[in-house]
Amino acid sequence: MRIKASIQSQYHAALAMLRQLVEECPPKLWDSPEYKNRTWNVAVHALFYAHFYLHTKAEDFKPWPKVHLDGRMFDDKSEEEERQVVSQEDALAFVDFLAEQIDPMVEALDLEAESGFHWLPFDKLELQFYNLRHLVLHTGELAERLWQAGGVEVRWVGKR
């Protein structure tokens, strides 16, 4: 099915752009308290949910073991969780892990089935658009942050 190849391509393109941002982020910005949601937290949040919503249903979710977040939003973490900084190296490993998962996970989806997540009342095809928008939203947020902090510009990736 051609639509699955397009979805896979766009996930890979989005991850390539996020990878650039993680690689080029100055270390002082990675955990800067200047932002309520630290740069590392935004990157890992985007990766976590991209991985989560690629699963068939919530009950099937198997988080990447090296960076386990429970999916809570940024501002309801405990102080201890806030101090557990995810390194840039671990974030890049998470990008690599997710990039390896995209093709088989998308291939296994029945795009006409329900989302598999009771709070998202649409089909799997729309879930992929939803998931990509979320990933790209946070990638854009980080791109703007890096640009303002030092003129780091992310190169556009149009497809795989």
Global pTM reads 0.89
Residue range 63-101, pLDDT digits in tens: 888 766 554 444 444 555 555 789 999 999 999 999 999
Q: Give the model's pLDDT for residue 46.
A: 96
What is the secondary structure of the chain as a DSSP string?
A: -HHHHHHHHHHHHHHHHHHHHHHHS-HHHHT-TTSSS-HHHHHHHHHHHHHHTTSSSGGG----TTS------GGG--HHHHH-PPPHHHHHHHHHHHHHHHHHHHHH--TTSB-S-TTS-SBHHHHHHHHHHHHHHHHHHHHHHHHHHH---PPP----
CATH of domain 2-150: 1.20.120
Q: 41-65: per-residue pLDDT in tens?
A: 999 999 999 999 999 999 999 888 8
Every domain of the chain and the residues it spans? 2-150
Which percentage of the chain shows pLDDT scores above 90? 75
